């Protein structure tokens, strides 16, 4: 038992026993990040809501319906590690502002491409927007930076709850575009994207107000949480090497990578086809946008209670629940033609992703230091982005050949893999990953 306690100290994991109060500066930063997440969420859901429809309008064929979601995944792959390295070196605010600027320019370019019926312009705009969305993933790192292990998942939940507002804002932008477009004689799809900068510009201002930078807080957690377990001082000048091999050698991080890959790929595949299925069933853009909004509520609406569960029950249990929810939702979307069953399925797919998202970020934060955290999450994002590239692109031909029902088989088969890995993860208490995991992590850190 004594050796196990020493191992837990070395890995930075801790039994959740002490819950220190949240300092005012961190409360303020958390609120700013949450509001930023709300604004960002409005624009981020435009691609899953409208991507397949825009491709169909530009090309007249559903064969490449998943390309928009695939490009988004490809851009996450390209930007994940560089943006993590940038934020590890210069702080989280720099990366967030850069991401917002890229998203803004990309949204304007997509609107122009739809107005001019230009598919190459559409692809260029998607690339810029996707790079911005990928850079915006550092919001999670910023949230995890500011909390000790006993509050880490809940702190992340506070920030991600801001996306509830984004879930409502997306349908509002699309509805406004449909109402105003006849008067302005504009394509509603173009106008919807031209409205997105209206929510991104305030976000840039909010990020600039964040102080101190979350990375600085993470390096000085004992100052903000005196006596809190896991809030140990960090040497900011430590040179830390980050690689895929290093992550996969640690079993807890390996489980996190596999679970992220499977659930993110599953969600990208299902949501790439959902809008197309609904529009073929005769539903209008507002109804489709509402279904996507319900999906986004599943992704973020229960973030806070899920964060509390991850801090109390453990990261493993929350991830297991996420795999089950994602599988059930995928079956609903794939096997039913009823609008409300499909919509409920999109909610469950989002809920499963949310369980994974919160627990995985908390696990990585438990097992990494602030000066490497951005790159570690970046490596994981790059790995999961490959699923976002491949799964939606494969889904189109699969549905064309075997029907929407084939997605149920593909989804359930994919989700069995993280289920097996999670059953092998030993987490005796939240944020603590057992003696074997502690030894692996210690060896990895010493290299």
Confidence tier at 112 by pLDDT (50, 70, 90): very high
Distance between CA atoms of residues 292 and 273, nearest Å: 12
φ, ψ for residue 249, nearest 5 deg? -75, -25
Over the stretch 390-441, which tens digit does the pLDDT of each residue have?
777 777 777 777 777 788 888 888 899 999 999 999 998 888 887 454 455 5
212 preceded by a cis bond (ω within 30 of 0): yes
Over the stretch 118-143, which tens digit does the pLDDT of each residue have?
999 999 999 999 999 889 888 889 99
Confidence tier at 61 by pLDDT (50, 70, 90): confident
Distance between CA atoms of residues 165 and 183, nearest Å: 27
Instruction: Please give the pLDDT value at position 303.
Output: 92
Instruction: Please give the pLDDT value at position 2.
Output: 37
Least confident of 98-102, 266-270, 344-348, 405-409: 405-409
pLDDT surpasses 90 at 33: yes
Query: With contact defined as beta carbons under 8 Å apart, do 169 and 41 qualify?
Result: yes
- The CATH code of the domain that includes 226 is 1.20.1250.20
pLDDT surpasses 60 at 87: yes
Query: With contact defined as beta carbons under 8 Å apart, do 76 and 382 qualify?
Result: yes
Instruction: Please give the pLDDT value at position 7.
Output: 39
Average pLDDT of the chain? 83
Q: Where do we find the tokens 């949240």? A: 22
Distance between CA atoms of residues 150 and 12, nearest Å: 11
pLDDT surpasses 50 at 260: yes
How many structural domains comprise the chain?
1
pLDDT surpasses 70 at 6: no
Could you tell me what percentage of the chain is helix, strand and coil, using 3-state DSSP and rounding each to the nearest 5?
Answer: 80, 0, 20
Which one of 39-53, 242-256, 265-279, 410-424 scores highest in mean pLDDT?
A: 410-424
Q: What one-character DSSP code corresponds to residue 225?
A: S
Tokens of 316: 């493993």
State the residue range of the domain holding 206. 2-446
**Strand runs labelled E in 267-306:** none
Instruction: Please give the pLDDT value at position 18.
Output: 55
pLDDT (mean) for 307-320 = 95
Q: How far is CA 309 from the centre of its chain?
A: 19
Contacts of 339 (CB under 8 A, 6+ apart): 278, 281, 283, 287, 291
């Amino acid at each position: 038992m004594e050796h196990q306690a020493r191992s837990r100290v070395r890995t930075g994991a801790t039994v959740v026993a002490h819950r220190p109060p949240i300092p005012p500066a961190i409360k303020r930063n958390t609120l700013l990040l949450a509001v930023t997440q709300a604004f960002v969420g409005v624009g981020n859901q435009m691609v899953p809501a409208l991507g397949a429809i825009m491709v169909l309008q530009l090309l007249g064929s559903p064969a490449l319906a998943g390309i928009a979601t695939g490009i988004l995944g490809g851009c996450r792959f390209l930007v994940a590690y560089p943006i993590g390295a940038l934020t590890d070196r210069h702080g989280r605010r720099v990366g967030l502002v850069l991401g917002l600027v890229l998203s803004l320019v990309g949204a304007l370019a997509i609107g122009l491409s739809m107005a001019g019926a230009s598919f190459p312009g559409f692809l260029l705009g998607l690339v810029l927007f996707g790079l911005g969305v990928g850079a915006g993933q550092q919001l999670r790192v910023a949230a995890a930076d500011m909390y000790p292990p006993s509050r880490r998942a809940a702190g992340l939940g506070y920030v991600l709850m801001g996306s509830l507002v984004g879930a409502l804002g997306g349908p509002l932008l699309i509805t406004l575009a449909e109402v105003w477009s006849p008067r302005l004689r504009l394509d509603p799809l173009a106008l919807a994207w031209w409205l997105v900068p209206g929510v991104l510009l305030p976000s840039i201002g909010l990020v600039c107000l964040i102080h101190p930078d979350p990375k600085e807080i993470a390096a000085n957690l004992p100052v903000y949480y005196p006596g809190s377990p896991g809030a140990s001082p960090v040497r900011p000048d430590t040179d830390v090497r980050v690689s895929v091999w290093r992550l996969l050698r640690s079993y807890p991080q390996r489980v996190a990578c596999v679970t992220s890959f499977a659930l993110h790929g599953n969600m990208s595949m299902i949501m790439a086809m959902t809008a197309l299925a609904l529009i073929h069933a005769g539903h209008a853009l507002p109804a489709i946008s509402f279904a996507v909004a319900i999906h986004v509520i599943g992704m973020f609406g229960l973030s806070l209670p899920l964060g509390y569960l991850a801090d109390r029950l453990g990261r493993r249990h929350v991830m297991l629940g996420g795999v089950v929810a994602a599988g059930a939702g995928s079956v609903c979307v794939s096997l039913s033609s009823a609008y409300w069953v499909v919509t409920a399925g999109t909610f469950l797919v989002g809920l499963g992703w949310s369980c994974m998202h919160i627990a995985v970020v908390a696990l990585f934060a438990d097992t990494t230091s602030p000066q490497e955290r951005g790159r570690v999450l970046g490596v994981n994002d790059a790995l999961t982005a490959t699923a976002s590239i491949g799964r939606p692109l494969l889904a189109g031909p699969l549905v064309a050949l075997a029907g929407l029902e084939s997605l149920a088989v593909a989804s359930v088969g994919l989700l069995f893999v993280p289920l097996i890995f999670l059953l092998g993860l030993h987490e005796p208490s939240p944020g603590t990953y057992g003696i074997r995991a502690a030894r692996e992590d210690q060896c990895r850190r010493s290299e």
